[in-house]
Chain A
């Protein structure tokens, strides 16, 4: 099938693999948080059911179970209860006759996690990511609140870091000599500094020792989120330290990758040939750049795809109101719908990024293209 259209076949084949990967990823996203022993209903009951009467607590628990889709309901949407036999032994009821009523308790019949999974998939297909257990808000709304912050922090840092790093790396590869001798170890050292640690050092130096920038947060705490100049100015001011904490380290890492790719390409025959032909230096450099770029492009797409996960710790250090912080609080509170919503989004981003890279490389890289036409992959 599609033998005569290798390109279409290639895209379909790749797409198929990515779709299967997506299904498995969704399954893992659903079941991984549930592997734990802690029950979100019990957590909420423990936090808020303190002063309630036994009856009210019972009703509240059933309502929560129903809301979370963890209780079986009848046609009218009422929680089905069943009489559960107490585990108490007979002598217990005899000696403590005053709690005789407690021997049989009514409990909501719980759905199995498989049934919950089915309901989850169905709702997702309808575009509904559910409601947060803790924040009483739609997961999609919470994500939409957080995403602009994460994107605003990550997209420019990754793109600028990538550009600056690659330019410096290519320069170091091409010039070598003293520039490279100083540049390379510095870049290597910079790339070895962990993001989170560097963020902490920046806060210490530029927010506490020399209070130039605010230490944490995304904007002035006295402000409300609105589209005014003052708000954006404040957000920009709070943006500086998180930006640099990622940018510098990223640029260092990129520069190293580009440098070794560049040196590798410099030794290839086509560069020697191009030089021998007497092509202008700029032109040779362009060829070099174009070929060394491919793996770097892959890296760029991958880091764009993983940026939400990558921002997690940085956002934590700076209490930056993005997705990373949302995921972390969701995990701490066993807020399943929010965890699933966030991880689903992260997964989709990474998959789309990977897929795009796969296809682009297939078109851009003559080597992959040649392999394709010979029938391999």
Chain B
């Protein structure tokens, strides 16, 4: 609670959280007030105005509806990928950092291995492997499974620094096993840190999905902000000057990521007093 009060004092946190929950709200609540309709019943690239707030795409679909759907998909992928990456990364990082020795070396090598093979290439390769049935969930899973590495690395460093604290040694003398020590004495200390990692992983999940969708390897079954951008680019929206075809999704992606960065940075400031004024 005290933490939240401190966070609310930070204008950066307030702005970031407002933007982020605003977009979430837009994605979740807007369909109640706005009829999401993806029928192709407008003119090709119909400009904004008269019933169409943001115009229509090359197939004549209403852009607001596309954006709502796309935003939902992007947030879904971000949360799915972020949850997987954070969970896997945290477990591996804590265990390796705490255990040390050979286990740590092996886990560290596994982490390095996945870091050196650029995840975007793995992502493209796997995406290209599933030409059909490339669902949003599959893409989220793949992103999560290829980007857990840097949360593992970050958490490992933190866990290793906690290892030599007195209360850990005390717990050990008490006869607590590794798992118990990790759960009772290390994880609680790292929780705020893990949460910050989670926030960055959500952002990177959203970015990865839009990158992969941008080059035409995105979900085949639904819209996402990246798919909208790809459609716009592939169908001459740039040359035709149809700014409304790509500008709003550009702004949305940037805003979400910006908001998550703001939240992350403000939390850093609260947890690390040195960063405060």
Contact = CB atoms under 8 A, between A and B. Distances in A.
Interface in B202-218: 203, 207, 210-211, 214-215
Interface stretch (A47-55, A88-96, A192-200, A219-227): A192-200
Contacts of A339: 125
Contact of B129 (A24, A35, A209, A343): A35
Most chain A CB within a 10 A radius of its CB, from B118, B214, B243: B118
A241 interface: no
Interface in B180-216: 203, 207, 210-211, 214-215
A196 B214 contact: yes
User: Number of contact residues on A: which range applies?
Assistant: 35 or more
A20 B210 CA distance: 33
Interface in A81-135: none
Interface in A256-310: 256, 260, 263-264, 266-267, 305-306, 308-310
Interface stretch (A156-164, A232-240, A344-352): A344-352
Contacts of B253: 194, 197
A204 interface: yes
B215 A316 contact: yes
Contact of B268 (A176, A185, A260): A260
A354 B215 contact: no
A59 interface: no
B147 to A, nearest CB: 13
Given A25-B117, A32-B122, A17 B261 contact: no
B97 to A, nearest CB: 13
B23 to A, nearest CB: 13
Contacts of B229: 197, 200
Interface in A33-47: 33, 35-38
B258 A263 contact: no
A33 B122 CA distance: 9
Nearest to A302: B115
B214 A263 contact: no
B105 interface: yes
A33 to B, nearest CB: 6
Interface stretch (B60-68, B85-93, B233-241): B233-241
A7 interface: no
A266 B128 CA distance: 48
Contacts of B56: none
A188 B258 contact: yes
Contacts of A204: 238, 243, 246
B261 to A, nearest CB: 5
A282 to B, nearest CB: 23
B109 A21 contact: yes
A327 interface: yes
B262 interface: yes
Interface in B224-268: 229, 233, 238-239, 241, 243, 246-247, 250, 253-254, 257-258, 261-262, 265, 268
15 contacts: A35-B126, A35-B129, A192-B261, A197-B214, A197-B250, A200-B229, A200-B233, A200-B250, A204-B238, A208-B239, A256-B265, A266-B274, A308-B118, A310-B120, A331-B125
Interface of A: 17, 20-21, 24-25, 28-29, 32-33, 35-38, 176, 185, 188-189, 191-194, 196-197, 200-201, 203-204, 208-209, 215, 256, 260, 263-264, 266-267, 305-306, 308-310, 312-313, 316-317, 327-328, 331-332, 339, 343, 346-347, 350-351, 354
